[in-house]
């Protein structure tokens, strides 16, 4: 038998959580064609993987790279950490369908630049990605916040019946054109006035397509319990699967609360479809004027449009330098994004260790000083939390990055090393993999990753991009 490529003698972690086993993996075209003892096979190219882990390419189910996949399609920040598939359109804000004209309200204006192309339909965005593909596979949720910006005349009030009907039709069309689910973000100003009923009407449309309601909940701090209850209620009323994005308990007063929230999720799962993901960091990142700074022990400015020179500096130091209070300094920096130290390490570990938690980066790759999760999330889990802290074993961690997100979001034939699946794969050294970046140097690529394949194409090798742009739209 013959293959294009044979990955020989690696320790295969297949993505299902099964223990690693020594073996070979055959790749022809864009598929894995065999695994196991393939010593009698020949190949166009043999790659010795002795002493290395061979795993499915990681799937990042929560990013904000909607525009970056068009403007920076090499996607080094993802490939360099072994990610081969991303899901955009999160937190209620997708790049499409966008019919609004003029300046975009935050946080959409944080995710998209002022001169970002505007796609009136999801199909137009999808076709553009197909014509000019990025280096990773992409899928996209359709954001309720974006639909609201398009259709609701005054964002400070609930949508009326007619507006809800128009948004539902637009969502229905976008999901028919390939959007993989609905995202909402009632935390953010453009959607804060939406009622539970409005969100439920949107969830009904997702349900009709057999797709998920994915949410940046109304509150992740003092009212996180109520926000979880609202999310579960929407799921029950719409008979729709719900997915809690980047689950956290924000603010000093809420540290330790994950014991309660995870128990709530566990209870809800007994009777309805609930899932969650999280990031492996105690700092979050979002737009600067979100009120988050009041819950944070420290705030770093990640990016500021009027003051790009302040990126990477502490908000408190900027205010002191300007001789102003924090709020005045913040106003001067807007539009801006920040990094907020608001979570407890104990909660981060408890949520990570919870058996149903999927790993995500929640990356926003804007400016010179983004949150280090943009470049370091997956190696940080495999290095810091698996090897050094022993929060879970390697096979479990990889399952949370591969087959679990693939199954949760309906990405067929992805997330597993198995005959017939797409040849998305990462080869790395379990002894050395780590995030090499930090808050001061956030864009340093991770270490320990040897090779990354996307749809059978070598895309990243020992820190260097191959130039391949083998991603497809899922």
Residues that bind Zn ion (CB under 5 A): 91, 216
Looking at the Cβ atoms of 117 and 189, the one nearer to Zn ion is 189
Minimum distance of Zn ion from residue 91's CB (angstroms): 3
Looking at the Cβ atoms of 292 and 434, the one nearer to Zn ion is 292
Looking at the Cβ atoms of 47 and 91, the one nearer to Zn ion is 91
Minimum distance of Zn ion from residue 258's CB (angstroms): 17
Minimum distance of Zn ion from residue 451's CB (angstroms): 32
Distance CA 246, CA 243 (A): 10
Looking at the Cβ atoms of 274 and 319, the one nearer to Zn ion is 274
Looking at the Cβ atoms of 203 and 425, the one nearer to Zn ion is 203
Minimum distance of Zn ion from residue 362's CB (angstroms): 6
Minimum distance of Zn ion from residue 364's CB (angstroms): 9
Looking at the Cβ atoms of 91 and 202, the one nearer to Zn ion is 91
Minimum distance of Zn ion from residue 239's CB (angstroms): 25
Distance CA 130, CA 61 (A): 20
Minimum distance of Zn ion from residue 95's CB (angstroms): 15
Looking at the Cβ atoms of 216 and 371, the one nearer to Zn ion is 216
Looking at the Cβ atoms of 10 and 107, the one nearer to Zn ion is 107
Minimum distance of Zn ion from residue 432's CB (angstroms): 32
């Amino acid at each position: 038998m013959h293959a294009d490529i044979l990955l020989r003698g690696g320790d295969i972690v297949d993505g299902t959580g099964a223990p690693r086993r020594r073996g070979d993996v055959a790749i022809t075209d864009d598929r894995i064609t065999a695994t196991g003892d393939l010593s009698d096979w020949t190949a166009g190219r043999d790659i010795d993987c002795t002493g290395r882990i061979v795993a499915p390419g990681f799937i990042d189910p929560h990013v904000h790279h909607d525009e970056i996949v068009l403007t920076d399609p090499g996607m080094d920040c993802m490939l360099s950490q072994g990610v081969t598939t991303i899901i955009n359109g999160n937190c209620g804000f997708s790049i499409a369908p966008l019919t609004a004209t003029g300046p975009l309200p935050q946080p959409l204006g944080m995710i998209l630049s002022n001169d970002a192309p505007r796609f009136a339909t999801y199909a137009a965005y999808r076709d553009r990605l197909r014509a000019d593909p990025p280096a990773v596979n992409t899928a996209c949720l359709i954001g309720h916040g974006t639909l609201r910006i398009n259709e609701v005349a005054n964002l400070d009030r609930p949508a009326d019946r007619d507006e809800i009907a128009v948004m539902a039709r637009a969502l229905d069309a976008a999901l028919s054109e390939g959007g993989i689910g609905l995202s909402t973000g009632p935390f953010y100003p453009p959607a804060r006035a939406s009622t539970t009923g409005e969100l439920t009407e949107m969830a009904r449309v997702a349900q009709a397509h057999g797709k998920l309601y994915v949410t940046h909940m109304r509150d992740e701090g003092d009212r996180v319990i109520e926000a979880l209850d609202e999310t579960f209620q929407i799921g029950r009323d719409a008979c729709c699967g719900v997915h809690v994005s980047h689950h956290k308990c924000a603010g000093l007063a809420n540290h330790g609360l994950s014991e309660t929230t995870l128990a709530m999720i566990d209870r809800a799962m007994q009777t309805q479809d609930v899932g969650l993901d999280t990031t492996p960091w105690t700092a979050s990142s979002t737009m600067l004027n979100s009120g988050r700074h009041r819950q944070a022990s420290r705030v770093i400015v990640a990016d500021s449009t009027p003051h790009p020179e302040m990126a990477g500096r502490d908000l408190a130091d900027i205010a002191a330098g300007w001789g102003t209070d924090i709020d005045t300094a913040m106003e001067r920096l807007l539009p801006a994004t920040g990094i907020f130290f608001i979570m407890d390490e104990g909660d981060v570990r408890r949520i990570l260790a919870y058996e149903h938690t999927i790993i995500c980066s929640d990356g926003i790759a804007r400016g010179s000083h983004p949150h280090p999760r943009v470049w370091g999330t997956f190696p940080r889990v495999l290095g810091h939390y698996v090897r050094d802290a022993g929060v879970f074993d390697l096979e479990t961690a990889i399952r949370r990055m591969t087959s679990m997100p693939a199954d949760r979001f309906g990405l067929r034939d992805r997330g597993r090393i198995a005959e017939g699946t797409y040849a998305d794969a990462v080869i790395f050294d379990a002894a050395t993999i780590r995030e090499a970046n930090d808050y001061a140097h956030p864009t340093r690529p991770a270490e320990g990753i040897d090779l990354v394949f996307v749809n059978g194409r070598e895309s990243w090798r020992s820190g260097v991009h191959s130039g391949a742009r083998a991603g497809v739209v899922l």
